[in-house]
Structure 1
Amino acid sequence: MSDEETRLGELRERIDTIDDELLRLISERAECARTVAEVKQQANPDEAVAFYRPEREARVLRRIKERNPGPLADEEMARLFREVMSACLALEKPMTIAFLGPEGTFTQAAALKHFGHSVLSTPLAAIDDVFREVASGNAEYGVVPVENSTEGMINHTLDMFMSSPLKICGEVQLRIHHHLLVSPEADAASITRVYSHQQSFAQCRKWLDSHWPMLERITVSSNAEAARLASLEEGAAAIAGDMAASLYGLEIRHANIEDRPDNTTRFLIVGTEEVPVSGEDKTSILVSMRNNPGALYGLLEPFQRHGIDLTRIETRPSPNETWAYVFYIDFRGHRDEQAIQAVLGEVEAQCVEMKHLGSYPMGVL
C-alpha cells in the first residue's frame, strides 16, 4: 500500500471509532431526555406536562455556540444539536407545529429551523387559521411571519395580536433567497409569465425589471402555490425558494434573484404559555395611548431613561376608535427583570391600555 492509502485507512478507522462514540453519546442523551420526561410526569400526574422549554433550549444552543471549538461554524454546530434535541423531544410525542402554508413555503422552512425536523408541521391557509389552531389546542405552537428586512412589517400578524389570547414564545430569522424556477424541460424563450407572492415580487422587483421585463407577473397566495402552478403549466415560471423547487420538481434557472443580498424575514413563534427568563430575551407589547400632544414622547421616554433598547416600534389603527392608534413595541429584556417592570409600570400608568404579548428568547439560529 502507498503512504496515501495507509494514511487514509488510518483516518477512516479513526472516523469509525468517533462515529461509534457519537452513537453511544447521542443514545445516552436520548435516554436522559426520556428520564426527564418521566420525572415531570410523575411529579404532575394529573396535569398536561410541557416537555418543550423554549428558554432551556435557547440556553443550550447559546452554550453550544460559545463552546464550539471548530472547524464547523457556530451556526452549523448549533443546527446539528437542534436536530438532536428535536429527535429526543419527539421520543414522548412529536409536537404539532402550525404554520402559514402550503407546504414548501419559507414559513415552513422557518418552523423546521426553529423546532427541528422531528415535529409534525401542519400547513394552514391563513395567519388567522394558525392562531386559531394553536388557541384551540390542536397545535402546540404556530409560526407566522412578522417582518421582512426589505418590505417591512406584516400587518396582518400584528393585527391578530389585538384580539388573540396567544403569547409570543420565540422568534426565528431566515435569510430569504428567491430563485426563478421553471420545469426542467422548459425553453427560456417559451416563458411568458411568472407566478409568485406579492412580497416576493416586491423583493425581486429590480432583478425582474432588468432581466425579464416582458414577463407577465401574476400574484398568487404563496410561493409554494406559484411553484405548483409552474410545474403544471407550459410557459410558466415561479419565484420561490429551495423547498418549493424540491417539492415540485422544478429547476433553478436563476438563483438568488432578490434585490438585497441580506434579505431576511423574521418569524414569531406563538403559543399559550409564558416563557421564563433565558438570559437574552425580548419583550413585545401593544399600547393604546390617549390622543394628546406629546403622547408618543411620554410613551418612549421611560425606555430611554432606564436604558432599555427598543428594537421595533410600529403603529396600527385602533379597532375601537377612528383615528386612534395602537403601538406595537419590541425591546430587549424580560418582563420579570426589575428594570423592565419599572418601565412597564410607567407606561401602563399613562396609557389607555397595555397588552403584554410575551417575553421570549432572542433568536439563536
Structure 2
Amino acid sequence: MIDETEKQQLNEIREEIDQIDAEIQALISRRADCAQKVADIKTKGGQVEAVFYRPEREAQVLRAVKARNKSLIPDDEMARLFREIMSVCLALEQPIKVAYLGPEGSFTHAGVIKQFGSSVHPLAVSSIEEVFEIVEKGDANYGLVPVENSTEGVVKQTQNELVTTPLKISGEVGLEIHHCLLSQQSSLEGIEKIVAHPQALGQCEQWLKNNAPRIALEPVESNALAAQMAQQDASLGAIASEAAAQLYSLNVLETHIEDRKDNTTKFWVIGSEATEPSGEDKTAMVLAMPNKAGSLLDVLSSFATRNISMTRIVSIPSTETKWDYLFFIDVDGHQKDANLAEAIQEVQQKTSFCKILGSFPVSPLN
C-alpha cells in the first residue's frame, strides 16, 4: 500500500516526466524543421536529382550519439532511438524507397528497418537479382542484399551481381539471425514438409537432422515466402522469424533452431551514388589476377606494406574462364584516403580485372 508521502513523490516525478516529454517533443519538432530547411535548399531551383540520404553523415551522427551517451540507456539502444528520429526527419525531406528480397517479414526486411528506420518505404521483390534490377532502373532509391552468413558463407547470387552491376555499395548492416519453426500445426507430427531459403536450411541442418529426420525439406526463394506457404498449406512447416509468425498467423513450434547461436548475416546497401568518407570506413573490391605463382600474395602486399588491414577475402569461380577465380576483398579505409588510393592504383597494375565495389561507413548499429 502506497502512503501519502510516496504518492506525492510519484506525482512529482510524473509531472517532471510530463515536462521532459514536452521538451523532447519540442526539440524533435525543431529537428524536423531543420530537415525541412535542408530539403528546401537541396531542391532550390527545381533540382530533381538532389541526394537526401547521406550514409556517411548518418554514421557520424550515430557515432556521436554513442560517444556522448552517459545515461542508463545502453549505447546501442540510444543509437536506435536516434535512428528512428533520423528516419522520420529524412522522410520529410524525401521518402526513401528500398528494394529487398521479400515478401514482408523476411530477415532482409528486418535489415532494411534496422538500417533505414521505420519511416522508410520497403519494396519487396521476388529475388536478389530483381533487387539490383529495380535499383538500376531507378524504381527504388536503394536496395539491401545479403552478402554473407557466419554459418553458411557467401550468398552467391549477390556476389555474382556485384561483378557486373553499375551500382555501388554505400552501407553495411549486420543482423543476428534466429530461426523458428512455424506451422498451422501444434506439433511436428502433422508436418509433411519443411520449406525455407537454402541458407536457412543449411543454418539449421543439425537441428533438422536431430529433430525432423523423416520430414522432407524443400528450398524456396525466401523464409517469408515459406511462411506464406505454410499459412496456405497446413501440412507445411516453415523456417522463418518470430515476426513472420505474427504476420502470417502461424504457431511457433520451436525457437532458436539455428545450429550456431551467434548466427549473423551481413547485408550491403546498394545505390547509384558514391559515399563520401565518414572517418571510419571500409572499401570493397573484386579482383582477378594472372594464374601464376605468388600473384595473390603480390596483390595483398600492396595493402600490407601500407599497414592497411584486410577484413575479408572470399574467392569464387570465374564465370568467364574455367578454373580461374575472382577474389572479393574488403579493407579498412575509404578509397579517397591517400594511403588506400595509392594501394588501389598499385593493385590495378598487378591484376587483370579490378573493380571497386564501393566505400562505405563501418556501421555504428550493432
Partner of 1:335: 335
Paired with 2:17 and 2:256, the residues of 1 have a C-alpha distance of 36
Could you tell me which of 19, 36, 39 is aligned with 1:37?
Answer: 39
Paired with 2:187 and 2:337, the residues of 1 have a C-alpha distance of 60
Does the CA-based 8 Å contact 2:38-2:93 persist in structure 1?
Answer: no
Does the CA-based 8 Å contact 2:101-2:222 persist in structure 1?
Answer: no
Does the CA-based 8 Å contact 2:186-2:253 persist in structure 1?
Answer: no
Partner of 1:23: 25
Partner of 1:167: 168
> How far did 1:128 drift?
1.3
Partner of 1:84: 85
Does the CA-based 8 Å contact 1:186-1:235 persist in structure 2?
Answer: no
Paired with 2:257 and 2:9, the residues of 1 have a C-alpha distance of 44
> How far did 1:340 drift?
0.1
Distance 1:153 1:180, change over 3 A: same
Partner of 1:14: 16
Q: What do the CA deviations read for 1:67-115 (whole angstroms, capped 9, x no partner)? A: 1112111111111111111100111331110111121110111011100
How many residues matched? 363
Does the CA-based 8 Å contact 2:313-2:329 persist in structure 1?
Answer: yes
Partner of 1:93: 94
1:90 alignment partner, SS class = helix
Partner of 1:59: 60
Q: CA RMSD in A?
A: 1.5
Paired with 1:206 and 1:323, the residues of 2 have a C-alpha distance of 32
Q: Which amino acid aligns with 2:205?
A: R
Paired with 1:294 and 1:139, the residues of 2 have a C-alpha distance of 43
Q: What do the CA deviations read for 1:195-227 (whole angstroms, capped 9, x no partner)? A: 211111111122222233333222222111111
Partner of 2:261: 261
> How far did 1:187 drift?
4.5
Alignment of 1:142-181 (within 5 A): 142-181=143-182
Alignment of 1:255-294 (within 5 A): 255-294=255-294
Q: Which amino acid aligns with 2:199?
A: Q
Deviates further, 262-271 or 125-134: 125-134
Does the CA-based 8 Å contact 1:177-1:241 persist in structure 2?
Answer: yes
Does the CA-based 8 Å contact 2:187-2:253 persist in structure 1?
Answer: no
Q: Which runs of 4+ in 1 moved over 6 A?
A: none
> How far did 1:125 drift?
1.0
> How far did 1:47 drift?
4.9
Deviates further, 275-284 or 320-329: 320-329
Q: Which amino acid aligns with 1:263?
A: N
Paired with 2:206 and 2:229, the residues of 1 have a C-alpha distance of 23
Paired with 1:349 and 1:235, the residues of 2 have a C-alpha distance of 58
> How far did 1:317 drift?
2.4
Alignment of 1:296-307 (within 5 A): 296-307=296-307
Does the CA-based 8 Å contact 2:102-2:225 persist in structure 1?
Answer: no
1:358 alignment partner, SS class = strand
Paired with 2:112 and 2:309, the residues of 1 have a C-alpha distance of 27
Q: Which amino acid aligns with 2:83?
A: R
Q: Which amino acid aligns with 2:68?
A: R
Partner of 1:72: 73
> How far did 1:188 drift?
4.6
TM (norm. structure 1) is 0.95
Q: Which amino acid aligns with 2:91?
A: A
Deviates further, 92-101 or 211-220: 211-220
Q: Which amino acid aligns with 2:81?
A: L
Does the CA-based 8 Å contact 1:159-1:316 persist in structure 2?
Answer: no
Partner of 1:346: 346
Partner of 1:238: 238
Does the CA-based 8 Å contact 2:127-2:221 persist in structure 1?
Answer: no
Partner of 2:110: 109
Partner of 2:326: 326
Paired with 1:255 and 1:128, the residues of 2 have a C-alpha distance of 30
> How far did 1:66 drift?
1.1
Paired with 1:348 and 1:89, the residues of 2 have a C-alpha distance of 38
Does the CA-based 8 Å contact 1:109-1:243 persist in structure 2?
Answer: no
Does the CA-based 8 Å contact 2:192-2:235 persist in structure 1?
Answer: yes
Distance 1:319 1:206, change over 3 A: closer
Unaligned runs of 5+ in 1: none
Q: What do the CA deviations read for 1:168-203 (whole angstroms, capped 9, x no partner)? A: 0001000001011123x6345323332211111111
Q: What do the CA deviations read for 1:100-140 (whole angstroms, capped 9, x no partner)? A: 11211101110111001111110111111111111111111
1:347 alignment partner, SS class = helix
Unaligned runs of 5+ in 2: none
Distance 1:188 1:6, change over 3 A: farther
Q: Which amino acid aligns with 2:38?
A: V
Q: Which amino acid aligns with 2:221?
A: S
Paired with 1:286 and 1:271, the residues of 2 have a C-alpha distance of 17
Does the CA-based 8 Å contact 1:176-1:264 persist in structure 2?
Answer: yes
Alignment of 1:223-234 (within 5 A): 223-234=223-234
Does the CA-based 8 Å contact 1:280-1:362 persist in structure 2?
Answer: yes
Q: What do the CA deviations read for 1:286-317 (whole angstroms, capped 9, x no partner)? A: 11211122111111111111111111111122
Q: Which amino acid aligns with 1:258?
A: E
